[in-house]
Amino acid sequence: MSGRNSGSHHPSHLVDNPELHWSEEHDLPVEGAWRDPGPATGHAAGQGDHWDRDHYGEEAPYFDGAPLPSRRSTRVSKRIRRRRRTVVFFIVLALFAVVVFFVVQTVKPLLGGFQAADYPGPGTGSVQVVVPEGSSARSVAAELRTEDVVASEQSFLDALGVANGTGSLQPGSFKMRKQMKASDAVAVLLSKDAAKVHYAAVAQNLRMGETLAVLAKSTGIPLAEFEQLAKDPKAFGLPAKAKNLEGYLSPGEYRFAVELGAKAILTQMVDATKANLDKAGVTDPAEQYRDLTIASIIEFEGNEANYGKISGAIENRINNPNGETGGRLESDATVAYGLGIKTYNITDAQKADKKNPYNTFANPGLPAGPIGSPAEASIEAAAHPESNPYYFWVTVNLKTGETLYATTYAEHLKNVAKYTAWCQANASECK
C-alpha cells in the first residue's frame, strides 16, 4: 500500500479545514493553514473518518509552519496601528505649534504691523482721569483710549504687563496728558505719589437709603456704618426737626480721599448742602429744613424748567387754607415716600390714611420732612418761588416733562385726563 509522509494520528475531517493547524506541543488543532499534498493513494477521498501511518505511509498530510493571523488578532493589530498613527499625529502637531510660536516671537519685534499703536510722547495739555473702585485693567485702558491719553488699549495693556502692574491699579483721580506714550501713562497710574480717591456718583432724586448704598459700594465702607451715623443728625449740626440726614446729602460727583472714614464722607456731603442753602440766602436752620422739604418735593414733581412755577403753586396751596386745596399740598410723591414705595399711582385709600406723616392729602401743610436730597437748582427755586395764580400742576408726558398748570380744580381735571390718556398709550412709563 502506497502512503504519504507519516505523521501523527489525527481525525481526517480536520484535513479540509483551512483555518486550523496542529499544535506540536499539545497535539491539538489550532488556527493556522492546513496543507494537503493531494488525495491518498489506495483510499478514495472522503472515505473513512480518519487516516493513519499505515494507510497514508510516507505521504501523510503535513502543516505549513507559518500560521495565518486570526480575525481577532487582525482586529487588535488594526486598533494598535490606528492608536499609533493618532499619537504620532498629535506629537507632530504639538511640535509644529511650538515652532510657529517661537518663529512669531522672533519675527514679531521686526515687523511694525504686529505692534500696537502707541504715541511717541510726552503728550500735550492735561486731562483728569478717574479710576473707580474695582476697575479692571481693560476698562482703564478703554477710558484712557476714549480720553486720547493713549493711542490704543493694547499698547497700554502691553506696557502694564511689562511693568507687572496688572493687579496694582488703584482707584483715584489722576492728572494726565493727551497722547502720552503708553509706558508713561502706566507710570503715572502706578505712582505712589498719585492722589488716590474713592469716586462716588450720587444722582438726583435718590432717597437717603439709596444714597448710603451708593457710598458703601463706592468706598468699600460697610453700609451699616453709614446707616448708624445717618440716624444721628445732631452730630452733623442739623436742627432738632431733622430725624436723620434725609435731605442733607447733596447729590453730585464726589472724589473722596481714600483715608476718609464714613463720618468724614457724610460731613462733606452735608456741608455741600449747607453751602447751597447759604448761596440761596437761607441761613436760619429752621428755614433751611423747610426749604429742603419743599425742594425735595419739587424735584419729584417736575423737571428743572418747571421748578419755579411748581414752587409758587406749592406756596399757594399751603398758605391759603381757604384756597382750592384747603391748605393741603396733595402730593403723590410725599405719600409714596411715607409708604416706602416709588410710584405715580396712589390709591384713594392711601390718600385717606392720616397715619402716614407724609400724606399731604389727609394732612394739611408740608410733610414731616424732606423726601430726598435736593440739588442746588431746586433749593434755589424753593427759596425764591415764582409768583403765579396756580394751585394745580400735572406732568402730562413723563418722557418730555411737559407740565400743565391750572387755577381751578375743574381745569385741572381736564389736564389730568390728558395725563391719563398718555399713560394708557405708555403703560410701562406710568407705574
Tens digits of per-residue pLDDT, 261-284? 999 999 999 999 999 999 999 999
Query: Residue-wise over 131-164: b if at least 16 C-beta within 10 A, else e?
Result: bbbebebeebbebbbeeebbbbbbbbbbbbeeee
Q: What is the pLDDT of residue 7?
A: 41
Do residues 34 and 17 lie in contact, with contact meaning Cβ atoms separated by under 8 Å?
yes
**The C-alpha cell of 77 is what?**
493589530
Band of residue 46 on the pLDDT scale cut at 50, 70, 90: very low
Q: What's the rounded mean pLDDT across residues 328-343?
A: 94
pLDDT digits (tens, 9 = 90+) for 170-193: 787 788 889 999 998 888 888 776
Candidates 281, 215, 207, 218; CA nearest to 248 is 207
Q: What is the pLDDT of residue 195?
A: 60
Q: Which residue has the higher pLDDT, 255 or 338?
A: 338
Residue ranges per structural domain of the chain? 12-63, 71-114, 124-195, 202-279, 300-429
Q: What is the pLDDT of residue 112?
A: 47
Band of residue 47 on the pLDDT scale cut at 50, 70, 90: very low
Q: What's the rounded mean pLDDT across residues 35-44?
A: 44
Question: Which three-class secondary structure state does DSSP give residue 403?
Answer: strand
For the chain, the average pLDDT equals: 81
Q: What is the pLDDT of residue 384?
A: 97
Q: Which residue has the higher pLDDT, 224 or 104?
A: 224
Q: What's the rounded mean pLDDT across residues 321-339?
A: 94
Q: What is the pLDDT of residue 105?
A: 57
CA distance 217 to 223: 8
Residue whose grid cell is 488543532: 29
Please say if the pLDDT value at position 3 is more than 70.
no
124-195: CATH topology: Dna Ligase; domain 1 (3.30.1490)
Please say if the pLDDT value at position 358 is more than 90.
yes
CA distance 313 to 234: 32
Asked if residue 122 has a cis previous peptide bond (ω within 30° of 0), the answer is yes
Instruction: Flag the least confident range among 29-33, 190-194, 340-344.
Output: 29-33
C-alpha 275, offset from chain centre: 37
Angle between helices 285-301 and 262-279 (to 10 degrees): 90
